[in-house]
């Protein structure tokens, strides 16, 4: 199959393009949000090909995989064909609804007969109003980073993109609660300046700006505990990646985390005091941390393995394109 998709979420796309298809990724000279092209910090295979809008006009596309409502108009304009009528469309929803009247949030693709809507978690499907649109769930898949956890550093790792802008959504305001337990290392995009914003000295928090995926995995696996403080997110892939590395986790029991983190993989709670004490326990007890990390890795590999993920997507793409 030849699949058109935009580069939106690097970690998810990295898993998706491991399948046995050809992938066309739009690229513009400015490499803006609708023309990022190939990832620079994630390993993508040679089956991913950058294409300009001009090249798309004559491209043979079997399926369009859209991830943002505005891509619908872009796809029609750049390909010169009607999405959903002349080319089959799958719309992937990565996110929970924006803040507002969440239980009644209507999905932009609701009540349509020209698209298949795919959510990445069952919680997303539950919380969005999808109307009569055909709606499926294909849970995340994680390329196995290997059981690389050592936990030799008595530090806490977390990965948060744009923690200053997103703040309470990502639980950024909760991070100072954990720094008395151990220094917190924050990985992600636009993390520069976070310690100053939180009023934390360098010895209590360090930040690492958008490192390559493999380098980030190797670094966090040296830390004793992984912290997932997000209040409102679909399901952070960084959480699943940390679990796959064999890290014990301390996570807010919100959205899909309650399905992803099993008993024995660390501490899962909506009580922040309980999470702080859980982090204190795991930081101080390396053997308990190792045991929890083994449970976490087994759970992540069993439920979110790449083989299952790609098989699910293969089945849907073939059905939609037929």
pLDDT tens column, 142-164: 999 999 999 999 999 999 999 99
| Dist. CA 311–CA 307, nearest whole Å | 6
Q: Is the pLDDT of residue 49 over 90?
A: yes
Q: Supply the pLDDT for residue 167.
A: 95
Alpha helices, DSSP H, located in the chain: 10-16, 53-56, 71-79, 122-127, 163-166, 194-198, 213-220, 237-245, 257-260, 272-284, 286-303, 306-321
Q: Are 2-140+306-321 and 153-303 the same fold in CATH?
A: yes
Instruction: State CA 198 to chain mean position distance.
Output: 25
Q: Is the pLDDT of residue 114 over 90?
A: yes
CATH superfamily of 2-140+306-321: Glycogen Phosphorylase B; (3.40.50.2000)
Pairing of strands 184-188, 249-252: unpaired
Specify which residues 215 forms β-bridges with: none
Residues sharing a CB contact under 8 Å with residue 103, sequence separation 6 or more, in sequence order:
127
Tell me the mean pLDDT in the region 39-55. 93
Tell me the mean pLDDT in the region 282-307. 97
Q: Supply the pLDDT for residue 103.
A: 84
Instruction: Indicate yes or no: pTM above 0.95.
Output: no
| Dist. CA 121–CA 139, nearest whole Å | 5
| Dist. CA 47–CA 86, nearest whole Å | 24
Are the C-beta atoms of residues 155 and 219 closer than 8 Å to each other?
Answer: no
CATH number, span 153-303: 3.40.50.2000
Other C-beta atoms closer than 10 Å to the C-beta of 146 total 13
Tell me the mean pLDDT in the region 63-75. 97
Q: Label residue 252 left, alpha or beta by phi (over 0 means left) and psi (-120 to 50 means alpha).
A: beta
Find, among 248, 213, 244, the residue nearest to 227 by Cα. 248
Cα-Cα-Cα-Cα torsion 8, 162, 176, 247, nearest 10 degrees, comes to: 20
| Dist. CA 55–CA 61, nearest whole Å | 12
- Local structure of 113: helix, strand or coil: coil
Band of the pLDDT at 23, cuts 50, 70, 90?
very high
Q: Domain coordinates of the chain in residue numbers?
A: 2-140+306-321, 153-303
């Amino acid at each position: 199959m030849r699949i058109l998709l935009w580069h939106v979420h690097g970690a998810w796309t990295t898993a998706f393009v491991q399948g046995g298809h050809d992938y066309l990724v739009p690229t513009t000279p400015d490499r803006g949000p609708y023309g990022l092209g190939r990832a620079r910090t994630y390993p993508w295979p040679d089956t991913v090909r950058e294409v300009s809008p001009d090249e798309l006009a004559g491209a043979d596309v079997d399926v369009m995989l859209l991830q943002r409502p505005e891509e619908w108009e872009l796809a029609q304009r750049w390909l010169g064909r009607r999405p959903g009528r002349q080319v089959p469309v799958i719309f992937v929803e990565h996110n929970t609804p924006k803040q507002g009247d969440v239980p009644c949030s209507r999905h932009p693709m609701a009540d349509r007969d020209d698209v298949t809507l795919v959510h990445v978690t069952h919680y997303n499907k539950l919380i969005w109003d999808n109307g009569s649109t055909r709606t499926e769930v294909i849970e995340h898949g994680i390329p196995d980073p290997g059981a690389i956890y050592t936990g030799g550093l008595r530090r806490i790792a977390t990965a948060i993109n744009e923690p200053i802008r997103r703040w309470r959504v990502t639980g950024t305001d909760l991070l100072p609660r954990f720094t008395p337990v151990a220094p917190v290392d924050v990985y992600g995009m636009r993390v520069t300046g976070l310690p100053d914003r939180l009023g934390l000295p360098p010895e209590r928090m360090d930040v690492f700006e958008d490192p390559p995926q493999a380098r980030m995995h190797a670094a966090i696996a040296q830390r004793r505990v992984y912290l997932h403080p997000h209040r409102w997110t679909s399901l952070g892939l960084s959480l699943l990646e940390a679990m796959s590395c064999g890290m014990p986790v301390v996570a807010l029991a919100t959205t899909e985390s309650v399905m992803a983190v099993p008993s024995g993989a660390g501490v899962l709670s909506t009580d922040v005091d309980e999470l702080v004490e859980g982090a204190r326990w795991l930081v101080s007890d390396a053997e308990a941390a190792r045991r929890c990390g083994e449970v976490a890795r087994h759970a992540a590999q069993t439920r979110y393995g790449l083989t299952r993920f790609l098989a699910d997507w293969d089945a849907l793409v073939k059905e939609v394109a037929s």
